[in-house]
Amino acid sequence: MRRDGATVALGGADIQLPEFTHARVLVVGDLMLDRYWFGDVNRISPEAPVPVVAVTRTEDRLGGAANVARNAASLNAHVALMGVVGADEPGTRLRALVEQGSITPHLYVDPRLPTTIKLRVVGRTQQLLRIDFETRPSEDILLEKLEDFRRMVGNHDVVVFSDYGKGGLAHIGLMISAAREAGCKVLVDPKGSEYTRYRGAHVVTPNRAELREVVGGWTDEAQLREKALRLRDELGLEALLLTRSEEGMTLFGEGEPVHVPTVAREVYDVSGAGDTVIATLAASLAAKQTIVDAVKLANIAAGIVVGKLGTAVVTREELAESLK
């Protein structure tokens, strides 16, 4: 593999948009319920220098790995979701949203685990506060999930591991091995600095901050390319996809790195954009797209979803309109 060539920049006008209806995607990872409290802000609290939000509307959305599944399902892929929830109202609500989203649930209830919640308080479309509730699942539940994963993984084309660092992927190394033995393509949205646990995956999709945590900083594109390719080789990946916010995405695979420029849009909210990227990538690869075309579609999807408030999805119809 060459290490000194220039990065190839590609656009997205030549992509053929697949139907996705035969794509089979399994999403495994940390499940969350995203709760939004929307309201008006007209005064400052007399108790502390903070705004008072008069809540007028509440909304629940799927978060974490569940949002990845929701995004893949919105493209018309056949999607199954595996993860752990608590024996509580948020867990029941999360399951209901999964079923409403045309996602096949494989949810495990841990009676000692409160379901992970991200509560966002929004005043006049501006997020004012986020409150997180989270606890790591028990080992018994995770082992049960591992055995079920081995039984069902062969019924899918692509497996996505959505790692939010909440403990739901304690056995990811064994899961990656099982997925590869079953002939599935393995994608990982990583977390933390210990990437050896992702060894053997096909594609890992860090953002800039996540990659810096693992390989350190870089001063120019040449140094970035060297560090990214070294990490790719160390982990035995087919490709490393670096998401770069306003700079687009760069795919470090065989041959020269491929850069896909960002789609120029007004950025409204970047929360959940990484979920949209890996979901679109997974659905596209399951629909037999090439890795480069799949990255192009994922880049377009990211450009759409950042124009929406909160964790949101992109539909196949929106992708088709953008490709025009």
- Residue 133 one-letter amino acid: F
Pick the range with the lowest mean pLDDT from 58-72, 161-175, 254-268, 291-305: 254-268
Considering only the C-alpha atoms of the chain, give the largest distance between any 2 of them, rounded to a whole number of Å.
64
- Residue 81 one-letter amino acid: L
Q: Which of 30, 157, 189, 275 is catalytic?
A: 275
- Across the chain, what does the average pLDDT equal? 91
Mean pLDDT for 232-243 is: 96
Give this prediction's pTM. Answer: 0.90
Which pLDDT score, from 0 to 100, does residue 174 have? 95
Judge whether 185 and 159 are in contact, CB under 8 Å. yes
Which pLDDT score, from 0 to 100, does residue 3 have? 37
**10 Å Cβ neighbour count for 198?**
24
Known catalytic residue at 275: yes
Mean pLDDT for 169-197 is: 95
Question: Which position has the token pair 């390989």?
Answer: 215
Residues 57 and 152: their CA atoms lie apart, in Å, by 39
**10 Å Cβ neighbour count for 85?**
27
Mean pLDDT for 277-303 is: 95
The tally of CA atoms less than 13 A away on the side-chain side of residue 104 is 12
The yes-or-no verdict on residue 4 having pLDDT over 70 is no
Name the band, by pLDDT with cuts 50, 70 and 90, for residue 5. very low
Which pLDDT score, from 0 to 100, does residue 214 have? 95
Strands lying side by side in the sheet with 78-86:
8-9, 258-260, 249-252, 239-243, 203-204, 185-189, 158-162, 24-29, 78-86, 103-110
Mean pLDDT for 250-268 is: 83
Looking at residue 88, what DSSP letter applies?
A: S
Express each pLDDT in 115-124 by its tens digit: 999 999 999 8
Cα dist from 178 to 100, 149, 163, whole Å: 29, 8, 18
Residues 40 and 4: their CA atoms lie apart, in Å, by 54
The yes-or-no verdict on residue 2 having pLDDT over 70 is no
Query: Strand 239-243 and strand 249-252: pairing?
Result: antiparallel
Question: Which position has the token pair 């959505």?
Answer: 162
